[in-house]
Amino acid sequence: MSSSNKQAGSLNEKAGISSPEITNASAISQIKNKRRQQPSADELISGILSGNRTALSRAITLIESTNPEHTEKANEVIKGCLPQANKSIRIGITGVPGVGKSTFIEAFGTFLTQLGKKVAVLAVDPSSSLSHGSILGDKTRMEELVKDENAFIRPSASGETLGGVARKTRESIILCEAAGFDTIIIETVGVGQSETAVHSMVDFFLLLKISGAGDELQGIKRGIMEMADAIVINKADGDNIKKANMAKVEFNRALHLFPSKKTAWQPKVTTCSAITKEGISEVWETISEYFELTEQTGYFGEKRKEQNQFWMMETINEQLKSNFYNQPEIISQLEQIKKAVQNNEISPFAAAQLLLDKYKKM
């Protein structure tokens, strides 16, 4: 048999084709068609509930899609997974770029998997406001954790979403929980002071800091500090240990000036080195203490209920916005009205009202 016939036969076998008359091109075409076939909502749900990571990844891609045709199918998948969700603890981790979030999460996630936890990391990378692209390099930075069979890492682009998270992070949490992951870690884009969205979807909010980057008091921003349940000063190794301990004292003083939380929890400040793994176990001890307290007081369940209401309202807002911009009449007139605004022929406020009035009549 010639090499070309052998190649065709091999392709035929991969494609599940037994007839020897099928040409090489035909076999390749059938293989490509198989790959293009999208699993049904039921197949995705079944795969997720059985812990299939491929199904989980494809489902997250589906819910992140902005294609209106995918919305109904995505809602079916979420509905099918919801009864198996809400069985994890959700930890949000933020900090300015360069603080070592990815390195810390790898060390922390590996520590948790060694305890028998199943860890899902939803890492959000900032999108360019110019090209709208995103690097999505978290898997590359977490070389050890990405190979751990008890860990799942999913990088997503933030897109135009504010608050340090991606547009569908909330739904991704539900899918990961349904797939059996009992600890969900959300790594924000790290803008430092606008992480309100992630705070509204996690149980514990951890703020990473570093010392030696200037006046420590410059890092004490009231908004983000009030949201934090713990502050961890990373890179406390080598010559930086003394500076990290000094920063710990400063942040502890600052925290005592803030109003008490409803949980009666006093946020703690610890130091760690994600490189040497020093202090990682203490971070988990702090988080465990927090969950023990909030479970006892009933705050844990109350916060989850409040978050569900918040995300209901957010979903309504998002759907209204999407519906508005997908109306054919709005689409046909939007560019024309935008040009009129640019040319000062109509004010931005009058133009907006004009479009909204037109939308109300539809």
What is the SS3 assignment for the chain? CCHHHHHHHHHHHHHCCCCCCCCHHHHHHHHHHHHHCCCCHHHHHHHHHCCCHHHHHHHHHHHHCCCHHHHHHHHHHHHHHHHHCCCCEEEEEECCCCCCHHHHHHHHHHHHHHCCCCEEEEEEECCCCCCCCCCCCHHHHCCCHHHCCCEEEEEEECCCCCCCCCCCHHHHHHHHHHCCCCEEEEECCCCCCCCHHHHCCCCEEEEEEECCCCCHHHHCCHHHHHHCCEEEEECCCHHHHHHHHHHHHHHHHHHCCCCCCCCCCCCEEEECCCCCCCCHHHHHHHHHHHHHHHHHHCHHHHHHHHHHHHHHHHHHHHHHHHHHHCCHHHHHHHHHHHHHHHCCCCCHHHHHHHHHHHHHCC
Q: Hey, what CATH topology would domain 308-360 get?
A: Helix Hairpins (1.10.287)
**Mean pLDDT, rounded, for 194-222:** 71
Query: Where do the domains of the chain lie?
Result: 3-77, 86-297, 308-360
Q: What is the CATH class of 86-297? A: alpha beta
Given a cut of 80, whether residue 190 has pLDDT beyond it is no
Residues 129 and 138: their CA atoms lie apart, in Å, by 20
Tens of pLDDT, residue by residue over 123-138, are 876 533 333 333 444 5
Q: Of all residues in the chain, what percent carry a pLDDT higher than 70? A: 77
Residues 67 and 90: their CA atoms lie apart, in Å, by 28
Residues 219 and 95: their CA atoms lie apart, in Å, by 10
Neighbours of 103 (CB within 10 A): 16
Pairing of strands 119-125, 230-234: unpaired
Residues 196 and 184: their CA atoms lie apart, in Å, by 18
Strand partners, 90: 184
pLDDT of the residue at 310: 87
Residues 312 and 320: their CA atoms lie apart, in Å, by 12
Same CATH topology for 86-297 and 308-360?
Answer: no
Q: How confident is the model at residue 221 (pLDDT cuts 50, 70, 90)?
A: low
Tens of pLDDT, residue by residue over 242-279, are 999 998 998 888 887 777 777 789 999 999 999 999 99
Strand partners, 156: 124
Tens of pLDDT, residue by residue over 16-73, are 544 544 556 665 655 555 555 789 999 999 999 999 999 999 999 998 887 778 888 9
The torsion angles phi and psi of 185, rounded to 5 degrees, stand at -110, 125
Given a cut of 50, whether residue 340 has pLDDT beyond it is yes
Q: Strands of 89-94's sheet, edge to edge?
A: 151-157, 119-125, 183-187, 89-94, 204-210, 230-234, 268-271
